[in-house]
Structure 1
Amino acid sequence: MPLFKTIRPNKYTSIYVWKIEESFDELALSVSLTNRSKDRLLSMKSELHQRGFLSVRHLLKEAGYTDFDLLYNGNGKPHLKDNKHISITHSFTFSALIISDVEVGIDIEKNREKIKIIQHKFVNFERGFIHKDDDYLEQLTVIWGAKESLYKIYPYGGLTFKNDIDIDSFKISDKKTTGYIKATDWDKKYRIYFEQLGGFTLVYAIDNYHE
């Protein structure tokens, strides 16, 4: 299908969401790839991952870019040739990207019971505000997605979700909170936004400097 949703949280940030319903062959049409991307695509063993990868290239087209405008640093963090900030995500039947003048990160996750089992790996400070009377599964998914979004912003790699990234208190109805990256060389606060998309949780982080 065409673009599923566009979000513009402020005048300098755009988010594009794709619902992946096309076949691999349909998605491969009218998309030009760099040699690096062709190699990555061929190395993917799952067609689901391949379709997610190609749908992101369609999102780039929606944003006015091509695969040739997308570059990566030594840690695999993407950026654009025009120096705009970009972050990319895909999960099962959704993909999304965020483009901004400021630091941004994005994540989309399917709401799954499995997250309750692995919460000990990423929940720390947040344990004090999780509300049992709120949607526990969605709260955990927001926390994971927020930490994943912030992890994607940090350019050097090596952060741990549990000890280096904190998310402030929130309720699902708030649809926003704040988060922090706390590393030796990086101590910054970011705005976090989240929403539900048909059984998935979309989370994105935006540099708190600009209002």
Structure 2
Amino acid sequence: MPLHRLLRLSPTAVLGLWHRTETAAALGALLPAGAPYAALLPPTAGSERQGQWLAGRVLAHAAAAALWPGAPGLLVRNDAATGRPYLEGPGVPASAVVSLSHSGEWAAALLATGGQVGVDVELVRDKARRISTKFLAADELAAAQRVGTDAYFTLLWSAKETLYKLAERRGLIFKEQLLLEPFTPASAGEIPMVLRLAEGQSRHRICYSQPAAGYVLTHCWEPGAPTATP
């Protein structure tokens, strides 16, 4: 069972990582609510996409068991309008929040009782570099080009994805509203960021690490809503 890690960020928040080696059928057998999930599985997804989708839900159940041992009826659903995952079922706190991500062989999940969560795992590729002008502001792009590696561009994309999930706002413009502040890249650390909304801006710190060679992981859990400033 390749549950790679469950990291308790606090008494009310757990970050999980799953290294996927199983087939989609094997992952489906690990879910306690197999029949409901079979109906929720994206019908047009191929075997690889199905495996990623199922791994995220198996991981969410493992993290939930650590947070809420009395919630055997947990079900992970997706909001029809936004696609964001949410939790329901007996024993699940009304304030429960969840963020899921998958890429390549890895799945990540961040669950908490209250607050805001965001998580993203990415396979390092040249894609983030190729689309960098679409998601990086001019000063961010200049700084990224000085570093120049695919891993760095992928990290910046992942950090913005995590903040986007944390914000829970549709239609945000990555290069204008999800802004990076200067930081010194390392194998693990924090990236300071600013979220700009119509009602003001707020500051956030996105944690990052390398779960395996060729991958980056970013996450953020905030127990209370940040105060926006004009």
How high is the TM-score relative to the length of structure 1?
0.86
Are residues 67 and 181 of structure 1, via their aligned partners in 2, closer, same or farther at CA, if it must alter by over 3 Å? farther
Are residues 151 and 168 of structure 1, via their aligned partners in 2, closer, same or farther at CA, if it must alter by over 3 Å? same
Q: Following the alignment from structure 2 to structure 1, what is the Cα–Cα distance between the partners of residues 155 and 223?
A: 18
Are residues 21 and 207 of structure 1, via their aligned partners in 2, closer, same or farther at CA, if it must alter by over 3 Å? same
Secondary structure of the residue aligned to 1:44 is coil
Q: Following the alignment from structure 1 to structure 2, what is the Cα–Cα distance between the partners of residues 75 and 42?
A: 15
Q: Following the alignment from structure 1 to structure 2, what is the Cα–Cα distance between the partners of residues 45 and 201?
A: 24
Secondary structure of the residue aligned to 2:183 is coil
Secondary structure of the residue aligned to 1:29 is helix
Partner of 1:178: 192
Shift, 1:71, TM fit: 4.2
Partner of 1:108: 121
Secondary structure of the residue aligned to 2:170 is coil
1:25-174 pair list within 5 angstroms = 25-31=25-31, 32-33=33-34, 35=36, 37-63=37-63, 64=65, 68-73=74-79, 74-81=81-88, 82=93, 83-100=95-112, 101-124=114-137, 125-130=139-144, 132=146, 134=147, 136-173=149-186
How high is the TM-score relative to the length of structure 2?
0.79
Are residues 42 and 159 of structure 1, via their aligned partners in 2, closer, same or farther at CA, if it must alter by over 3 Å? closer
Question: Cα deviation per residue 1:117-153 (whole Å; 9 max; x = unaligned)?
Answer: 1111111142353373x46322211110111111112
Question: Cα deviation per residue 1:137-177 (whole Å; 9 max; x = unaligned)?
Answer: 22211110111111112223111111110111122216212
Structure 2 gaps, min length 5? 66-70, 226-230
Partner of 1:8: 8
Question: Cα deviation per residue 1:177-203 (whole Å; 9 max; x = unaligned)?
Answer: 221221114632221111112211001
Q: How many residues align?
A: 208
Q: Cα RMSD (Å) of the superposition?
A: 2.4
Secondary structure of the residue aligned to 2:131 is helix
Q: Following the alignment from structure 1 to structure 2, what is the Cα–Cα distance between the partners of residues 170 and 150?
A: 16
Counting aligned pairs with the same residue, the percent is 23
Q: Following the alignment from structure 2 to structure 1, what is the Cα–Cα distance between the partners of residues 168 and 72?
A: 22
> 2:133–2:141: 8 Å Cα contact kept in structure 1?
no
Are residues 161 and 87 of structure 1, via their aligned partners in 2, closer, same or farther at CA, if it must alter by over 3 Å? same
Structure 1 gaps, min length 5? none
Q: Following the alignment from structure 2 to structure 1, what is the Cα–Cα distance between the partners of residues 73 and 104?
A: 21
| 1:188 and 2:202 aligned | yes
> 1:3–1:19: 8 Å Cα contact kept in structure 2?
yes
